[in-house]
Amino acid sequence: MTERQGPAVFDVEGRIVAITGAAIGIGAAAARTFAEAGARVFLIDIDDTRGETVADGVGTYLHCDVTDAAQVERTFARIADAAGGLDVLINNAGGFWRQSGVGETTEGDWDHIIDLNLKSVFLCSQAAVPMLLDSAAGRIINVGSLAGQTTMYRSAPAYAAAKAGVHALTRVFAYELAPQGVTANALAPSAVLTDRILEVRDEAEREQTARSIPLGRYGSPQDIANVFLFLASDASAYVTGQTLAANGGRFMI
């Protein structure tokens, strides 16, 4: 059976899209995918070297620490000035860099992971909402995780808690913004083969994980970017407040 790896076909032509954590992995794949589909893309990250490289021919790179309210406010003001509005916000920034248990988690680890994975979603969404309300197709797309839905593998306590918070916050956004026509949904990936996963899990762990997935493989950043396209398009106009699983069948509800 041939696996489809190219971008799915959903119409986002002319839409203005902001993507956090866009310098690498899923964010970079999403930026390229939306640009190829005709969207105007703003790539938000703190990794200037890789961010500017990805942005070349794709969109506009903006340096921003998404855990800092003042920087977030300035960044979205720049988007408003440059593009006159915003149609789609993809809160993708996040992650963790060391598998750990409760006893190994320091206060600093906890604060940093919660800020990057959860606080950033709140700050960026809060800054983007005024523009999304003026859009004919306002979309908030948050990246959660299987780690925020169930505990079936080792990750990090703060990461699991933060991603569960992302799913809950998504529902709050959806409930509050639905009367104004803005949708909010989360995507819960699992086992996506990014540079971070290569750092966090060794080859034996990755092979064991792949065997546990009914589709028999890790996901690719492109697999996730394709779902973003659906959620950003008119095809998803009646979908809001949901957490969509993209996990190869690893966890089924």
Q: What percent of the chain has pLDDT over 70?
A: 91
Where in the sequence is the domain holding 46, given as residue range(s)? 16-246
Q: pLDDT tens digits, residue range 136-155?
A: 999 999 999 988 888 767 67
Q: What is the mean pLDDT of residues 89-109?
A: 88
126 lies in a domain? yes
Q: CA-CA distance, 198 to 201, in Å (whole number)?
A: 6
4 lies in a domain? no
Q: CA-CA distance, 245 to 70, in Å (whole number)?
A: 33
Query: Would you state the structure tokens that stand for residue 251, as one six-digit string?
Result: 């966890």
- Helix (H, G, I), strand (E, B), or coil: what is residue 42? strand
Q: What is the mean pLDDT of residues 90-114?
A: 89
Residue 147: its pLDDT value, please?
A: 83
Q: Which distant-in-sequence residues (6+ apart) come within 8 Å of 91 by Cβ?
A: 20, 120, 121, 124, 125, 140, 141, 142, 143, 166
Query: pTM for the complete prediction?
Result: 0.91
Task: Report residue 6's pLDDT band, with 50, 70 and 90 as the boundaries.
Answer: low
Check if 159 is active-site: yes
| Catalytic annotation, pick one of 61, 159, 218, 238 | 159
CB atoms within 10 A of CB 202: 10
Q: At what angle do helices 48-55 and 25-36 cross, to 10 degrees?
A: 20
223 lies in a domain? yes
CB atoms within 10 A of CB 40: 20
Q: CA-CA distance, 13 to 177, in Å (whole number)?
A: 23
253 lies in a domain? no
More confident residue, 85 or 199: 85
Residue 1: its pLDDT value, please?
A: 40
**Pairing relation of β-strands 183-189 and 139-143?**
parallel
Q: CA-CA distance, 138 to 87, in Å (whole number)?
A: 5
Nearest to 139 by CA among 181, 168, 172: 181
6 lies in a domain? no
φ/ψ of residue 89, rounded to 5:
-115, 125
10 lies in a domain? no
Domain harbouring 161, CATH code: 3.40.50.720
Query: Would you state the structure tokens that stand for residue 57, as one six-digit string?
Result: 């021919």
Number of domains the chain contains = 1
